[in-house]
Amino acid sequence: MLAVGGAVLGSLQFGYNTGVINAPQKVIEEFYNQTWIHRYGENILPTTLTTLWSLSVAIFSVGGMIGSFSVGLFVNRFGRRNSMLMVNLLAFMSAVLMGFSKLGKSFEMLILGRFIIGVYCGLTTGFVPMYVGEVSPTALRGALGTLHQLGIVVGILIAQVFGLDSIMGNKELWPLLLSIIFVPALVQCVMLPFCPESPRFLLINLVLL
């Protein structure tokens, strides 16, 4: 259960980062406008603002596509568990970029952070169900396999709750709303070293040796 619980934190991250960008749209657009005024001394054009916002949302999917194509490269070389550990570096990088984007007056930092967390989520959506399926007992494989989807929807729910104006979806705390992803990444880094590697991966490498 420790192995499955640690792995499913990656699914939670995917759900959270899918839903978190929607609630604070107005305050983030205002941040874009204020950043533009700081740089160029004039309000941002509506078309430019729409383009930047659309890019902020869509770049997550672009990163996810790149990440999903890279799953095989990681799991076959480093193993399932070690791959999940390694890619948490991407989550930490993204948290720093998005968390300090307001302080740095840089919407580019936010957009780059969204791209990086997209790559992370694309990778984890491949790692998690693979690892869970391979470490689960045969009798529980079906039941435990559903935890990947459960983690995603719970992540979306948490994002919607945290995104309320009265919690973190306001102009003061929205950077924390986006950067709090470092918490599950840190928890996963603590849990996974105590979890076993996938027996299938170990067997494949034993055969290759």
Say how many CA atoms lie within 13 Å of 203 toward its Cβ: 5
Instruction: Please identify which residue in the block is written with the tokens 């929205």.
Output: 174
pTM of the predicted model as reported, rounded to 2 decimal places: 0.95
Question: Which residues have CB under 8 Å from 60's CB, separation 6+?
Answer: 17, 18, 21, 114, 115, 117, 118, 121
Can you give the pLDDT of all 209 residues of the chain as single tens digits? 889 999 999 999 999 999 999 999 999 999 999 999 999 999 999 999 999 999 999 999 999 999 999 999 999 999 999 999 999 999 999 999 999 999 999 999 999 999 999 999 999 999 999 999 999 888 888 888 899 999 999 999 999 999 999 999 999 999 999 999 999 999 999 999 999 999 888 988 875 54
**CATH fold group of domain 2-208:** Growth Hormone; Chain: A; (1.20.1250)
Q: What is the DSSP string of 74-130?
A: HHHHH-HHHHHHHTHHHHHHHHHHHHTTTTTT-HHHHHHHHHHHHHHHHHHHHHHHH
Q: DSSP code of 136?
A: S
Q: So what's the pLDDT on residue 138?
A: 85
pLDDT at 145: 87
- What are the strands, taking DSSP E only, across the chain? none
